[in-house]
Structure 1
Amino acid sequence: MRIAFLVAPEGVEQIELTDPWQAVRDAGGTPELVSTKPGRVQAFNHLDKADTFAVDADLDHARPDDYALLVLPGGVANPDALRLDERAVAFVQAFFTAGKPVAAICHAAWTLVEADVVDGRTLTSWPSLRTDIRNAGGNWVDEQVVVCRNGPNTLITSRKPKDLKAFDTALTEELQRVKR
């Protein structure tokens, strides 16, 4: 089962990419790095450059139909860049339209807001996004992880790197549900 991890070419929080990536692999999924450009993406440890990662597919070639689930890692610059890319926003919207699960951590909720998919949903994020989420019609809560099944698909959200264990657990449970 292929799982898309959508990131910008620069600015993804490394642990929010690598930790769920490993959880997906451990659960028997096949994670694939999707980005707005081919090549490599530059990850960060907060504000410091970290490792780079090879892109498996860019948005000119990736098709949401080819993936069972979408993961949106955070970092401040990553979702800020994604929400300015019409292809990235459309990619996110396609998962919701198809009723496929989406998981987002930390600042990644900005991309959800831009994709206009939070209205009527309960979710969490990095605390500074609560007003953006509420203004978009979402119900923001301060919890480690929120699994919202309001609508045809599941939305899994989490606040920050310290919540990764809860996020990974919810993500792998959803993978098992999708496999059935």
Structure 2
Amino acid sequence: MKVAFLVAPEGVEQVELTEPWQAVKDAGWTPELVSTDPGEIQGFNHLDKADTFPVDKTLADASAGDYIGLVLPGGVANPDFLRMKPDAVAFTKSFFDAGKPVAAICHAPWTLVEADVLRGRKLTSWPSLETDIRNAGGTWVDEQLQICTEGPNTLITSRKPDDLKAFNQGFVDEFRKAAG
């Protein structure tokens, strides 16, 4: 089973990509890096450049039907770039339309705001997104892990890198349930 990781060409918080990626591998699944452009993406440790990672598929070649779920890593620039790309927003929304679980950490819910999928849902994020989430119809909470089962699919969210252990366990458990 495959899990999509949607990231921009640069700006992803590296630890929010690599630790969930490893959790997917540890679960026996195959992670795939999906981006707007082919080649490599540039990871960051906060504002400093870190490692690069090869893109497995571009959005033009990826479909929600190919995956058991979607992981949206954070970083400030990553989701801000993605929410400005209609194909990235459509790809994200397609997981909700298909009833597949989505996991988002830190600033990643910005992409969910743009996809208009938060109405009536409870979630957490980096604190600066609270107003954006509320304006999009969601309920923001300051919790390490929030699992929302209201709506067409399960939404798993966490606030920051310090929450990664809970985030990884939460989304792996929920993806496993969804996969049957």
TM over 0.5: yes
Q: Pairwise CA RMSD of aligned residues?
A: 0.6
State the 1:91 CA deviation.
Answer: 0.2
Equivalent-residue separation in structure 1 for 2:36 and 2:89 (angstroms): 11
Q: State the shift of 1:172 in Å.
A: 1.2
Aligned equivalent of 1:39: 39
In structure 1, what is the equivalent of residue 131 of structure 2?
131
The aligned counterpart of 1:3 is 3
Aligned counterparts of 1:127 and 1:82: Cα–Cα separation in 2: 19
- Between the aligned partners of 1:11 and 1:144, the Cα distance in structure 2 is 23
| SS of residue matched to 2:118 | coil
CA distance in 2, matches of 1:152, 1:134: 19
Amino acid at match of 2:94: A
Q: Which residue of 2 aligns with 1:156?
A: 156
After superposition, residues 5-154 of structure 1 pair within 5 angstroms as 5-154=5-154
CA distance in structure 2 between the aligned counterparts of 1:86 and 1:152, rounded to whole angstroms: 21
Report the secondary structure of 2:107's partner residue: helix
Which digits, 9 at most, give the CA deviation of each residue in 1:44-97, with x for residues without a partner? 000000000000000111111111100000000000000000000000110000
Paired residues of 1:27 and 1:175 also in contact (CA < 8 A): no
TM-score normalised by length of structure 2:
0.99
154-163 or 166-175, larger mean C-alpha shift? 166-175
What do residues 78-134 of structure 1 show as CA deviations (whole Å, max 9, x unaligned)? 000000000000001100000000000000000000000001000000000000000
Match of 1:137, SS state, is coil
Partner SS state of residue 79, structure 2: helix
Query: Do 2:68 and 2:179's aligned partners in 1 also have CA atoms closer than 8 Å?
Result: no
What percent of counterpart residues are identical?
Answer: 71
Shift of 1:175: 2.4
Q: Which runs of 5+ in 1 are unaligned?
A: none
Task: Give every structure 1 segment of 4 or more consecutive aligned residues whose post-TM-superposition deviation is greater than 4 Å.
Answer: none
In the alignment, the residues of structure 1 paired with residue 63 and residue 44 of structure 2 have an alpha-carbon distance, to the nearest angstrom, of 27
CA distance in structure 2 between the partners assigned to 1:151 and 1:111 by the alignment? 17
Which SS does the other structure have where 1:96 is aligned?
helix
How many equivalent residue pairs?
A: 180
TM-score by length of 1: 0.99
Matches of 1:9 and 1:52 in 2, distance apart?
10
Asked if the contact 1:105/1:157 (under 8 Å) is kept, the reply is: yes
Q: CA deviation at 1:18?
A: 0.2
**Runs of 5+ unmatched residues, structure 2:** none
Aligned-pair CA distance for 1:160: 0.1
Whole-Å separation in 2 of the counterparts to 1:175 and 1:87: 24
